[in-house]
Amino acid sequence: MFFNAFTGAREVDRNLIDNARILGARRLQVLRAIVLPSATSWILLSLHTAFGFALIGAVVGEYTGARTGVGFLISDAQGTFDPATSLYLNCDFVEKNHDVVQKLANAFVGTLRWISQHSPEEIAAKMPPSFNGGDPALYAQSIKDSIAMFNADGRMDADGARNVLDVLASFSTNVQPRKDSIDLSKTYTTQFVDAVPIQP
């Protein structure tokens, strides 16, 4: 960004600066009225690239040495069990729509069972072509690398729920002071998963 701003300042029309000085403009007035407006387009153009690099740098910095932030969460999540297949529903909706929730659970568990019985290549072949980004082999490999996070029965593991709470408490100001008073058994249920018909 500095070099773009420097280049923008150097590209200012010298005739404009000379005319301003002839008319008695001081150095600060020349900078404010001519140089900065002329360099603005260069500065804004550089922000397009600089913002992306700044964001990447922030995440990498958090990943390597911070105790909060997205990078820290990525680092902290490595090698830990995080439930990746969950349905988040309002309790009132669940109480009033047992049949709908059961159908959702049936579909979820049926999909998880199917995933556990098929290879990454078979799973990739069932997905829309637009999902693979033009590289089916790479897409199949990404499925292979991440398939372990899905269990075959859809049940929430108590340790997984605890880990989710620990991660949330590490950055959420709402969760952190209440962490020790939260009864995890009341935050999820396997009632509907347990009722999914067993495959023959």
Q: What is the pLDDT of residues 32-57, one digit of tens each?
A: 888 888 777 777 777 777 777 777 78
**Which residue range is the domain that position 133 belongs to?**
91-194
Around 110, how many Cα atoms within 13 Å sit in the side-chain half-sphere? 10
Is 100 found in the same domain as 55? no
- pTM tops 0.75: no
Give 183-194 pLDDT, tens digit per residue: 988 888 889 999
CATH number, residue 182: 3.40.190.10
- Number of compact structural domains in the chain: 2
Of 77, 108, 130, the position where a domain reaches its end is 77
* Distance of alpha carbon 179 from alpha carbon 162, whole angstroms: 10
DSSP H helices in 79-183: 91-96, 98-116, 120-126, 136-146, 158-169
The confidence score (pLDDT) of residue 155 equals 85
Is 46 found in the same domain as 12? yes
The confidence score (pLDDT) of residue 192 equals 92
Residue among 5, 189, 194, 171 at smallest CA distance from 89: 189
- Indicate the residue type of 67: R
Is 139 found in the same domain as 66? no
Is 142 found in the same domain as 48? no
Of 77, 112, 136, the position where a domain reaches its end is 77
Q: How large is the average pLDDT for residues 120-143?
A: 88
> Could you tell me if 20 and 33 are in contact, meaning their C-beta atoms sit under 8 angstroms apart?
yes
